[in-house]
Amino acid sequence: MSGLVSTVGLWGADKAVALTGYTPHQHVPSPIEPHFAAPERISSLTFGPVALAAAVARAATTRDDAPVAVLDALQRSTLPMLETMIADGTTFGLSTHFQYLADTERTFLAARVGAGITDLYMNALGYTWRANAACLSSTLDPHADFIYEGGNASGHGVVLAEAHGSFAANASAQSVHLQSKNKYLRQVKPYLAVTSPYGRVIHGYSIAFGSKPNALGAFLSLSETKINKPRGKKGTPPPSQATEIRGGGSTPTSIALAAHRSNFFLLGGDEVVDWIDWVRTVDGAPPEPTPIEFLRLQYAGRQYLVHPSSLWWRDPPREWLEDLLDYQHHWRHALRWPPRGRVGRRPHLGLFAMEETAATEFLKSLTGIIQDGGRSIPATLQLPSFGSIGFGLGGESVGRFRDDADYQYALFRDGFALLGDPNRGRPRGITMWSPKEGMFLQ
């Protein structure tokens, strides 16, 4: 049961990290896809604690062939550490608690934070959909971490992103930049122009992030494929804008299924994960087509869907959702940190949710595939995308809308969200998803 988490002890200030190194790498031909124009690099990334926590969770659960139990272990082993290992203040730094970690734990935490920073950066560039890049080679061969689609890559192919994190005593702008270059050459460059299950690789990035213990400051370095033509003339509006595209985004079905497998897992919607796995393989009997309930939650001017597994206090024999809607104090009680012994499977920094339009359009599309017995999967799906909130370009108020700046949350371009203060939300009803009949309000 993913979903609900505590914000006690978490740093409060947004942090800005400037790009301290950049190297464009030549490739022939350039560009690989003639009509692709890479977005301009971002010179400063700003993010809040909720955004980083969500990105770390997204990155850790992107392996789209991993069983739910493995994703659960990855998530639970990382997120709680963010609360105590990162210092407060507008400048990134590690807290004094970091010194008590063993070397292996330091390496693990740095890798996960590096992956989260990479996900934030790629979303800030305008890319929307993500998948794991393990499909590019055998597990013995070095390869990039993630594949992204959307934004400027829409209709052209996919881009690679390699992530690296370092919290070493000798971390510096030079060492972090060297890592980004080396990893680009070893784990990105060999796969340019290669065809993946999600599309042809048309561009690549290597993003390295580092910070030195006992010293404030962080280093962020980028290596990417060089484009020998003017940039930015095609694609989405600047990623810092809070734009929204409804119904017009043609997204490869394969990468949409991969991204939403991670998203609905984090929501606690294992039933949706089971159906995604079935339509991708059509292996064996389909899951039970039992309708799934979602709570509709109004928060910061939007409607979100929350999976009931987030509400730890529910008593199955009761009509708990009716009580929730009838009595506001039940709703507040549901979003408090659960008592000892009832934590279940959930991270520690808010409430995972999906923007209602994003969830509804995807689940409707999934129903269409299920109704056809999984035999005919369309090449693309029409899915919405959103402007990022809770992180973005430095000095851009981290992508938040001005009228909801007092809310602490993060919204990603695919509609996935982490609500840092969910007790401010208002329940607005119940939505049911029937795998074989679609969406309907109850």
- Higher-pLDDT residue of 62 and 323 is 62
* Whether residue 280 is found in the same domain as residue 197: no
CB 5 within 8 A of CB 75: no
Evaluate whether residue 106 is within a structural domain.
yes
Handedness of CA 383, 387, 390, 394 (dihedral sign): positive
Is 230's pLDDT higher than 60? no
* Whether residue 167 is found in the same domain as residue 305: no
Let me know how long the chain is.
442
Cβ-based burial of 281 (10 A; exposed 0-12, middle 13-18, buried ≥19): exposed
318: tokens are 């009761």
How many domains in the chain?
2
Last residue of a domain, one of 237, 258, 278: 237
**Three-class SS of residue 89?**
coil
Angle between helices 356-371 and 270-281 (to 10 degrees): 40
Evaluate whether residue 123 is within a structural domain.
yes
Give the per-residue pLDDT at 402: 37
Give the per-residue pLDDT at 235: 44
Evaluate whether residue 191 is within a structural domain.
yes
Helices (H) and strands (E) in the chain, counts: 10, 20
* Whether residue 75 is found in the same domain as residue 109: yes
* Whether residue 73 is found in the same domain as residue 121: yes
How confident is residue 72, by pLDDT bands cut at 50, 70 and 90? low
Give the per-residue pLDDT at 273: 93
* Whether residue 218 is found in the same domain as residue 296: no
Is 241's pLDDT higher than 50? no
* Whether residue 206 is found in the same domain as residue 276: no
Q: Which domain holds residue 98?
A: 15-237
The DSSP output letter for 399 is: G
Give the per-residue pLDDT at 213: 94
Range among 148-162, 235-249, 363-377 rated most confident: 148-162
How confident is residue 142, by pLDDT bands cut at 50, 70 and 90? confident
Evaluate whether residue 261 is within a structural domain.
yes
* Whether residue 214 is found in the same domain as residue 260: no
pLDDT tens for residues 264-286?
998 889 999 999 999 988 677 88
CB 84 within 8 A of CB 97: yes
Last residue of a domain, one of 204, 237, 270: 237
Pair type for strands 158-166 and 146-149: antiparallel
- Give the integer Cα–Cα distance in Å for 103 and 114: 16
Evaluate whether residue 129 is within a structural domain.
yes
Q: Which residues contact 420 (CB under 8 A, 6 or more apart)?
A: 7, 48, 49, 50, 349, 350, 407, 408, 409, 410
Residue showing tokens 């065809």: 195
* Whether residue 198 is found in the same domain as residue 289: no
Evaluate whether residue 4 is within a structural domain.
no
Evaluate whether residue 292 is within a structural domain.
yes
- Higher-pLDDT residue of 339 and 153 is 153
Is 154's pLDDT higher than 60? yes
Backbone φ, ψ for residue 432 (5° rounding)? -110, 140
Give the per-residue pLDDT at 437: 94
* Whether residue 213 is found in the same domain as residue 254: no
* Whether residue 182 is found in the same domain as residue 303: no
Give the per-residue pLDDT at 394: 65
Could you give the C-alpha distances from 280 to 31, 90, 119, 272, 360, in angstroms and in order?
32, 44, 24, 12, 19
Is 25's pLDDT higher than 70? yes
Last residue of a domain, one of 174, 202, 237: 237
Could you give the C-alpha distances from 442 to 186, 293, 357, 432, 439, in angstroms and in order?
53, 9, 17, 7, 10
Which helix (H) or strand (E) segment holds residue 188: the answer is none
Give the per-residue pLDDT at 63: 79
Q: Which residues contact 391 (CB under 8 A, 6 or more apart)?
A: 45, 46, 47, 48, 51, 52, 55, 120, 123, 124, 398, 399, 410
Is 309's pLDDT higher than 90? no
pLDDT tens for residues 356-400?
999 999 999 999 999 987 678 899 999 999 999 999 876 554 544
How confident is residue 405, by pLDDT bands cut at 50, 70 and 90? low
Handedness of CA 80, 83, 84, 85 (dihedral sign): positive
pLDDT tens for residues 323-365?
555 544 444 445 444 433 434 444 446 789 999 999 999 999 9
- Other beta carbons within 10 angstroms of residue 396's beta carbon come to 19
Instruction: Identify residue 107 by its one-letter amino acid code.
Output: T
- Give the integer Cα–Cα distance in Å for 46 and 394: 5
pLDDT tens for residues 179-205?
999 999 999 999 999 999 999 999 999
Backbone φ, ψ for residue 339 (5° rounding)? -70, 165
Give the per-residue pLDDT at 242: 40
* Whether residue 343 is found in the same domain as residue 229: no
- Higher-pLDDT residue of 163 and 245 is 163
Backbone φ, ψ for residue 304 (5° rounding)? -125, 155
How confident is residue 315, by pLDDT bands cut at 50, 70 and 90? very low
Percent of the chain with pLDDT over 70: 76
Evaluate whether residue 93 is within a structural domain.
yes
* Whether residue 232 is found in the same domain as residue 342: no
